[in-house]
Amino acid sequence: MADVIVVGGGPAGISAAIYLQRFKRDVLVLMKDQGALGKADSIENYYGIVEAVSGAELIARGVAQAERLGVKVRKEEVLAIEAGDGFSVKTAAGVYTAKAVLLATGMSRTNLKVRRYNDFVGRGISFCAVCDGFLYRQKKIGIVGNGEFMLEELDVLRNFSKDLTVFTNGEKLVHTPENVKIVADPLVEILGTDRLSGIATSTSQYPLDVLFVAIGTASASDFAIRIGALMDNNKIVVDADFMTNIEGLFAAGDCIGGLAQVAKAVADGAQAGITIHKHLKSIKS
Amino acid sequence: MADVIVVGGGPAGISAAIYLQRFKRDVLVLMKDQGALGKADSIENYYGIVEAVSGAELIARGVAQAERLGVKVRKEEVLAIEAGDGFSVKTAAGVYTAKAVLLATGMSRTNLKVRRYNDFVGRGISFCAVCDGFLYRQKKIGIVGNGEFMLEELDVLRNFSKDLTVFTNGEKLVHTPENVKIVADPLVEILGTDRLSGIATSTSQYPLDVLFVAIGTASASDFAIRIGALMDNNKIVVDADFMTNIEGLFAAGDCIGGLAQVAKAVADGAQAGITIHKHLKSIKS
């Protein structure tokens, strides 16, 4: 069991990992991709970087810095996190365990760009199979997504219904799941009056009782919701020590809100690294 | 008149200056030396710096970055700051004016390492000639220090008494002031029972009514106290926008307390840069 698993390899996650490593903690960083920062063309307002760098280059430097100090960084997408005696963190490659977890996956989830989407969030549109799947036993369940995260959610939903339709929204499936209907057309509009009653693609309409959204990669808020962490307006609520209401589950960076700047994420990470170290000391017994 | 004068060229001040410059604000950074960070041998926990760097090198990089973006950085020690219609900032080279000032001079003042020093702080040991000089009219006044800051304080004290003794505490005087006694011996002990009654050097004793401490460079807290900014336990009190109780006077970095790490100072600076820009917008009329 590691001391800490950091989910996310951007400024907040790597900054925390560096502090933890220097406290001689056994820390593992799991990152899928470069997130929002990786898409930034040019960063020139982050202190200490004389010449402007791309977001991708800054992330690469952070990873190199952490690895030079001995931090283990693995390019694996996290699919699920479970709290119990410590935490277990599932990726496509395996399951890792740790005494504490830091969520640092950046901005909250990608939303669907579909007409009337916002009208039905919480009224037939859900973001958490573990949370809401039970409400839709034997109902018509739709799930939108095309990657590992969608497959993970789908496996949970199989427990509740056999009437399952995957909407890839025009994207290519990473793996093709069995025993489900698959619709590849782009989504156009959510149907319904008070609640969602179905979905329209460019060519057809599909009646549904619920649509689970699992596009892209699971975000920090997706994980936080599943574990039962308090959220406020889609941001993870943390205390002054960057700990959520779940003992041992921490969050830092854009996923807790505040200024969406590298400088702020780095400072969050530094402070979270220090408080996680203190937390680990306090539970050592 | 500049938009903003930043006092201090470390991570907090330069980070703020970079943000302000990118908002097209006219910003001037005044720095004397490299402060506490400049003495750090090796920084390896600041995100994005792959190989460890010295504190001096990191500061140099920050200044180069700011200058590349068009920030004016001058190596001048700030001696006094006055609030009125905007702010006037005095250095040995001249007086600059600005609509807002950011204090980012790092750690609070250097204290004297002399026996029984702590017993008499606030009981005959003072840190502000403008604040307390009036209390010691025609009394025996001592002042400890050897640089520009001491001379500035001394000039204020001349208004209140002619019985002035400068204690250089073994240091070399930058300029030799006239019409004062000068004692070059190292200080050994503060004398007194309830209140300070004098000072002992390695060779003699000197009766005094008050000792003003003005060693090293004036710190952010020295300036803040003089202007009337609220302090808490030697840290400058700021609101969520990094503004002190004095309209237009901001502070960021180590001088406001919190984690004494580069990452935190940089984040402070970024956020203060943004809120100072907003403040300037609000007073534009």
Residue whose entry in the numeric block shows the structure tokens 């939108």: A144
- Please report which confidence band the pLDDT of residue A133 belongs to, taking 50, 70 and 90 as the band edges: confident
Q: In whole angstroms, how far apart are CA A94 and each of A13, A217, B34, B261?
A: 21, 17, 48, 36
**pLDDT of A130 higher than 80:** no
Domain check: are A175 and A134 in the same one? yes
Do the chains contact at A264 and B267, CB–CB below 8 Å?
yes
Which residues from chain B sit within 8 angstroms of residue A22, using beta carbons?
A: 44-45
Report the chain B residue with the minimal C-alpha distance to residue A48: B62
- Crossing angle between the packed helical segments A11-22 and A55-68, to the nearest 10 degrees: 10
Question: How many structural domains does chain A have?
Answer: 2
Domain check: are B182 and B254 in the same one? no
Chosen domain end from A213, A243, A274? A213
Domain check: are A209 and A224 in the same one? no
State how far the Cα of A65 lies from the Cα of A163, in Å rounded to an integer.
49
Question: How far out from the chain centre does Cα A118 lie?
Answer: 20
Domain check: are B56 and B73 in the same one? yes
Residue of B114, B111, B73 whose CA lies nearest to B196:
B114
Residue A157's pLDDT is 94
Do the chains contact at B50 and A69, CB–CB below 8 Å?
no
Which residues from chain A sit within 8 angstroms of residue B51, using beta carbons?
A: 68
Residue B110's pLDDT is 65
In angstroms, how far is the first alpha carbon of chain B from the final one?
15
- Please report which confidence band the pLDDT of residue A121 belongs to, taking 50, 70 and 90 as the band edges: confident
Indicate whether this complex's ipTM tops 0.85: no
Domain check: are A10 and A149 in the same one? no
Residue B285's pLDDT is 53
Domain check: are A173 and A80 in the same one? no
CB A127 within 8 A of CB A212: yes
Domain check: are B104 and B224 in the same one? yes
The pLDDT of A179-194, averaged and rounded, is 95
Average pLDDT over chain B, rounded to whole? 91
> For the segment B213-258, what is each residue's pLDDT rounded down to a tens digit?
998 777 777 888 888 899 887 789 999 999 999 999 999 999 998 8
Backbone angles phi, psi at B137, to 5 degrees: -60, 130
Do the chains contact at A18 and B47, CB–CB below 8 Å?
yes
Which residues from chain B sit within 8 angstroms of residue A240, using beta carbons?
A: none
The pLDDT of A222-239, averaged and rounded, is 87
Which residues from chain B sit within 8 angstroms of residue A65, using beta carbons?
A: 44, 47-50
Do the chains contact at B49 and A51, CB–CB below 8 Å?
no
Residue B28's pLDDT is 98
Least confident of A107-111, B121-125, B139-143: A107-111
Domain check: are A171 and A246 in the same one? no
- Please report which confidence band the pLDDT of residue B42 belongs to, taking 50, 70 and 90 as the band edges: confident
B229 vs chain A: nearest CA distance in angstroms?
26
Q: Give the strand pairing for B27-30 and A141-144.
A: unpaired
Chosen domain end from A163, A184, A213? A213
**pLDDT of A285 higher than 60:** no
Do the chains contact at B264 and A271, CB–CB below 8 Å?
yes
Flag whether the pTM goes above 0.80.
no
B185 vs chain A: nearest CA distance in angstroms?
42
Residue of A87, A101, A220 whose CA lies nearest to A149:
A220
**pLDDT of A107 higher than 80:** no
Residue of B144, B108, B114 whose CA lies nearest to B129:
B144
Supply A268's token pair: 């969050």
Residue A47's pLDDT is 96
**pLDDT of B142 higher than 90:** yes
Residue A39's pLDDT is 75
Do the chains contact at A68 and B62, CB–CB below 8 Å?
no
Which residues from chain A sit within 8 angstroms of residue B268, using beta carbons?
A: 267
The pLDDT of B193-198, averaged and rounded, is 95
Residue of B267, B265, B256 whose CA lies nearest to B220:
B256
> Which has more pLDDT, A270 or B128?
A270
- Please report which confidence band the pLDDT of residue B283 belongs to, taking 50, 70 and 90 as the band edges: confident
Q: Which residues contact B8 (CB under 8 A, 6 or more apart)?
A: B29, B30, B31, B35, B102, B103, B104, B105, B106, B220, B253
The pLDDT of A130-155, averaged and rounded, is 90
Least confident of A274-283, B8-17, B32-41, B275-284: B32-41
Domain check: are A10 and A88 in the same one? yes
> For the segment B62-111, what is each residue's pLDDT rounded down to a tens digit?
999 999 999 999 999 898 999 988 999 999 899 999 999 999 988 755 67
Least confident of A7-16, A51-60, A240-249, B38-47: B38-47
Residue whose entry in the numeric block shows the structure tokens 């959610």: A153
**pLDDT of A142 higher than 70:** yes
CB A42 within 8 A of CB A56: no
**pLDDT of B166 higher than 60:** yes
Q: Give the strand pairing for A94-103 and A2-7.
A: parallel
In which domain, by residue range, is B6 found? 2-109+218-283
State how far the Cα of B167 lies from the Cα of B162, in Å rounded to an integer.
16
Chosen domain end from B188, B213, B238? B213
Do the chains contact at B47 and A19, CB–CB below 8 Å?
no
State how far the Cα of B168 lies from the Cα of B143, in Å rounded to an integer.
9
Which residues from chain A sit within 8 angstroms of residue B19, using beta carbons?
A: 45
User: What CATH code is carried by the domain that includes residue A43?
Assistant: 3.50.50.60
**pLDDT of B34 higher than 90:** no
In angstroms, how far is the first alpha carbon of chain A from the final one?
15
Residue B252's pLDDT is 97
Domain check: are A165 and A251 in the same one? no
Residue B101's pLDDT is 97
Q: In whole angstroms, how far apart are CA A48 and each of A43, A52, A250, B37, B54?
A: 11, 10, 27, 13, 12
Residue of B156, B146, B148, B138 whose CA lies nearest to B210:
B138
Residue A127's pLDDT is 82
Domain check: are B95 and B235 in the same one? yes
Supply B131's token pair: 């604040």
Backbone angles phi, psi at B122, to 5 degrees: 80, -5
> For the segment A218-227, what is each residue's pLDDT rounded down to a tens digit?
777 788 888 8
Rank A174-178, A221-225, B107-111, B132-136 by mean pLDDT and report only the highest: A174-178
Alpha helices, DSSP H, located in chain B: 11-22, 55-68, 117-120, 129-132, 148-157, 220-227, 262-283
Residue B108's pLDDT is 58
**pLDDT of B134 higher than 80:** yes
Q: Which residues contact A21 (CB under 8 A, 6 or more apart)?
A: A27, A66, A69, A70, A71
Residue A148's pLDDT is 86
Nearest-by-Cβ selection for B47 from A15, A45, A271 = A15
Domain check: are B98 and B140 in the same one? no
Report the chain A residue with the minimal C-alpha distance to residue B44: A65
With an 8 Å Cβ cutoff, the interface of chain A facing chain B consists of 11, 14-15, 18-19, 22, 44-51, 58, 61-62, 64-65, 68-69, 259, 261-264, 266-271, 274
Which residues from chain A sit within 8 angstroms of residue B29, using beta carbons?
A: none
Average pLDDT over chain A, rounded to whole? 91
Which of the residues B22, B47, B57 would you substitute to probe the A interface, choosing the one with the greatest number of A C-beta atoms within 10 Å? B47
State how far the Cα of A187 lies from the Cα of A184, in Å rounded to an integer.
9
